[in-house]
Amino acid sequence: MKHLIVTADDFGLAPEVNDAVEHAHTAGILTTASLMVGAPASAAAVAIAKRRPGLRVGLHLTLLEAPPVLPKAQIPDLVGPNGLFRTDMAKVGADMFFRKDVQRQLAAEIEAQFAVFAATGLRLDHVNAHKHYHLHPTVTTLLMQIGPRYGMRWVRVPDEPNVMVRAIDPAAPRLTPAITTPFTTMLKYRLRVAGFKVPDHVFGLAWSGAMTADRLAALLVHPPQGVTEIYTHPATTGGYPGSAAGYRYADELAALVSDDVRAAARDCGASQGGYMDAPPQI
């Protein structure tokens, strides 16, 4: 059996993202969104989700380059002088791994983000992390300890079938399995052993910020067996605070609502929805 999930990350980051998510869900193939609960437009995103009950929403755990939920005084080692999470991924990652005081701050912030999501009244469809930072072993451990209290069952593991990507686009960026595979393999193993569910396939890494209509349609022609997630970053335009240079936000939105992509999704032979909609036998 096949189940297809099409996700928009960064829900709540900006009005441009929120508007794109709602349009891609109502007029396109978007089934799911990952909410940044501490982001400036998160309250508006929650309002959209409540008036669009078919849109499944999960937690986009954010520990880098964005506003935290807790005040700086409670997590001083996680934020920079501007009050946002730090951007030095390697250094802050080392602090999280080796320093007990930083681990306590990290646990408090992760708990706070889950609590804010729970307070929205939305059902938790899934959990992932901004820039896939839940691959960090300390973050993984805390996620597994804290998440179940808030209903966490499904977690994204960004393990992309590179062979399929390059069959569609031979010029696609080559990922670095020697670096990423040990982390994705360990994350998938730890989650499954602990009883959590993970998708069988995830697409969006090689074409991050460039999931164009032709690429998206090609992925939908013959989706693999099991649970497949395709994650995207739609927005009505780029250049908003927090946007990434070079990302083709409007092109990704256009892809999600294009006639060719909608036809490919309709004919792909997969059930569609959020993680919570996956058939139990998968």
pLDDT at 113: 98
- As a residue count, the chain comes to 282
Mean pLDDT by 10 residues, the chain (282 residues): 97 98 98 98 98 98 95 96 91 95 98 98 98 94 97 95 88 66 89 96 94 96 94 96 95 98 96 95 70
The predicted-structure confidence for 6-18, as pLDDT tens digits, reads as follows: 999 999 999 999 9
Task: Please provide the DSSP assignment of 76-90 as one string.
Answer: TTTB-TTSSBPS-HH
Cα→Cα distances 38→60, 103, 112, Å: 10, 20, 10
What sign for the dihedral angle of Cα 84, 240, 235, 207? negative
> Is residue 146 a part of any domain in this protein?
yes
pLDDT at 74: 97
CATH of the domain at 195: 3.20.20.370
The predicted-structure confidence for 168-209, as pLDDT tens digits, reads as follows: 988 887 665 556 778 899 999 999 999 999 999 999 999 999
Cβ(277)–Cβ(16) below 8 Å: no
Residues 108-147 as b or e (16 or more Cβ within 10 Å = b)? bbbbbbbebbbebebebbbbbbbebbbbbebbbebbbebb
> Is residue 202 a part of any domain in this protein?
yes
Residue ranges making up the domain that contains 72? 2-277
> Is residue 282 a part of any domain in this protein?
no
The total domain count for the chain is 1
pLDDT at 177: 53
The dihedrals phi and psi of 230, each to the nearest 5 degrees, come to -115, 115
pLDDT at 280: 85
